[in-house]
């Protein structure tokens, strides 16, 4: 909470700005607003839970003693693997402007998920998640920074392989965020039962995140159940993922699975922001371009704004980089590699085992980066903007050696968060009063300076060094 208290000090500099607005300008995201700049200053932050009460006995949160992904020294794991019926992971922060007439004009919500590779040592208290949420709230949104279940074990023999535990973690996260989405809408419907100071427009929702959070956001925003199941295909001898963890819409949350998520809830998602995340898809769909439309034909594809580092090694930008976008699952012991292929700990009623469908010769999945997402959305004539930093790896640089500014001239993470928030806000704003032409949609080491609903006219660079990322036809 120290980061949150520090952020609240920024309110003083912006006091009174909201008084210049008419009552519903910010709720409608009207084009007269310049969302490259904050329009509110007095942002409040509440801490809440979206867990069902009482918490169902089948809700399980796994914590591994060997969860070592990026573990800092100060992050102490359990002495032994733990399987807890504990809803403390189902928390969230609500960031909202205070100087606004919510009774007449509910604001549009943004659901945000933090980074961290689904490791236990990550959390929704990460500075960038808090920074971005605060700056988006200053631009007229109610922002929910949502925690979700984490917990992974990496393959210690072949670290580039993906373990069964790493395969289960994104599924649990997607269950949680789907549950949050339903809970957010139910809470708004039952607003009289809560002391909340905000109101939200539940028909126009945005979603996004960083790295693992973006991975989860894209899953929740776009994927049908059948698409999700195709990513978790298992041999006949192993229990399938919905058998051991429940369906993607389990009843662990304040908002029950009352309606079909794809038919009712996904259409309310109007846009996505992806910060160095990826979308997984079966290798066959990626390898055969004719299969990709079939894989995405039933998905709820929405406009997206994308930020990515050209030197990313976690979710490589393009497939011919030194690190491939290929995903290979950890092999079973009979192939002489490891025993990270299977898990039966902390799954429903200890059913299982759950095993990943691994092979020593076949690529199992592809993690498509922002580059792939841009190409795919363009092929479907969906609106999309992509921002590439040629010197950036996975995530923003540490402030001590800072380069990841996307051409904006930012010299630290906070300034880059300000730039990203401005671009995300304007991108979403344009959906409600779109210009006749959007103009440029590719920004490689070049800042987009367009305001309001202006056409993007600047930036012609499409290359990182000698690599022409987006050759014109």
Q: State mean pLDDT over 162-178.
A: 95
Q: Say whether pLDDT at 91 is over 80.
A: yes
What is the pLDDT, as a whole number, of residue 222? Answer: 96
Mean pLDDT, residues 364-382:
91
427 or 20, which is more confident? Answer: 427
Domain locations in the chain as residue ranges = 2-468
Ranking 95-99, 241-245, 421-425 by mean pLDDT, the lowest is 241-245
User: What gap in Å lies between CA 251 and CA 234, rounded to an integer?
Assistant: 24
Mean pLDDT of the chain: 88
Is the full-model pTM beyond 0.85? yes
Closest CA to 229 of 205, 213, 245: 245
Q: Residue 1 — pLDDT band, cuts 50, 70, 90?
A: very low
Does residue 214 surpass a pLDDT of 80?
yes
Q: What is the mean pLDDT of residues 259-278?
A: 97
- In this predicted structure, what is the pLDDT of residue 79? 85
CATH class, 2-468 region? alpha beta
Is residue 148 a contact partner of residue 176, using CB atoms and an 8 Å limit?
A: yes
Question: By mean pLDDT, which of 12-26, 41-55, 402-416 is the weakest?
Answer: 12-26
Contacts of 258 (CB under 8 A, 6+ apart): 182
pLDDT digits (tens, 9 = 90+) for 294-308: 788 878 999 999 999
The H or E element that residue 342 is part of is strand 342-343
Cβ-based neighbours of 337, under 8 Å, separated by 6 or more: 157, 158, 161, 330, 331, 360
Classified as helix, coil or strand, 432 is: coil
């Amino acid at each position: 909470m120290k980061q949150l208290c520090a952020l609240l000090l920024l309110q003083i500099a912006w006091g009174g700005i909201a008084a210049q607005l008419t009552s519903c300008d910010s709720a409608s995201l009207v084009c007269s607003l310049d969302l490259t700049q904050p329009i509110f200053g007095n942002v409040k932050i509440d801490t809440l839970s979206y867990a069902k009460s009482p918490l169902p006995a089948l809700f399980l949160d796994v914590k591994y003693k060997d969860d070592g992904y990026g573990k800092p020294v100060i992050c102490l794991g359990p002495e032994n693997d733990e399987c807890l019926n504990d809803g403390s992971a189902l928390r969230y922060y609500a960031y909202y402007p205070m100087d606004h007439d919510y009774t007449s004009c509910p604001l549009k919500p943004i659901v945000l998920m933090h980074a961290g590779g689904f490791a236990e040592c990550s959390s929704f208290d990460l500075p960038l998640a808090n920074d971005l949420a605060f700056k988006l709230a200053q631009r007229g949104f109610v922002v929910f920074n949502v925690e979700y279940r984490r917990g992974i074990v990496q393959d210690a023999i072949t670290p580039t392989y993906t373990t069964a535990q790493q395969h289960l973690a994104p599924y649990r996260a997607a269950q949680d965020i789907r549950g949050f989405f339903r809970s957010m809408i139910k809470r708004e419907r039952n607003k009289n039962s809560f002391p909340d100071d905000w109101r939200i427009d539940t028909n126009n929702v945005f979603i996004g995140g960083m790295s693992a959070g973006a991975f989860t956001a894209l899953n929740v925003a776009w994927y049908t159940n059948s698409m999700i199941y195709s990513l978790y295909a298992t041999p006949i001898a192993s229990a399938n993922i919905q058998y051991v963890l429940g369906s993607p819409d389990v009843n662990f949350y304040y908002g029950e699975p009352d309606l079909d998520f794809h038919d009712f809830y996904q259409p309310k998602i109007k846009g996505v922001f992806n910060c160095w995340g990826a979308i997984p898809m079966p290798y066959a769909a990626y390898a055969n371009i004719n299969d990709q439309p079939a894989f995405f034909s039933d998905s709820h594809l929405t406009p997206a704004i994308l930020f990515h580092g050209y030197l990313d090694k976690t979710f490589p930008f393009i497939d011919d980089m030194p690190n491939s976008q290929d995903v290979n699952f950890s092999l079973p012991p009979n192939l002489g590699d490891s025993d990270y292929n299977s898990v039966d700990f902390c799954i429903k009623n200890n059913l299982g085992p759950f095993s990943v469908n691994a092979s020593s010769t076949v690529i199992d999945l592809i993690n498509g980066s922002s580059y792939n997402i841009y190409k795919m959305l363009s092929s479907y004539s969906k609106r999309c903007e992509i921002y590439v930093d040629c010197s950036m790896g996975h995530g923003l640089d540490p402030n001590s050696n800072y380069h990841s500014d996307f051409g904006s001239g930012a010299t630290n993470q906070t300034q880059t968060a300000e730039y990203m928030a401005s671009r995300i806000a304007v991108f979403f704003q344009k959906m409600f009063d779109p210009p006749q032409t959007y103009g440029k949609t590719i920004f490689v080491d070049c800042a987009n300076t367009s305001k309001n609903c202006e056409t993007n006219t600047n930036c012609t660079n499409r290359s990182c060094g000698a690599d022409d990322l987006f050759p014109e036809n």
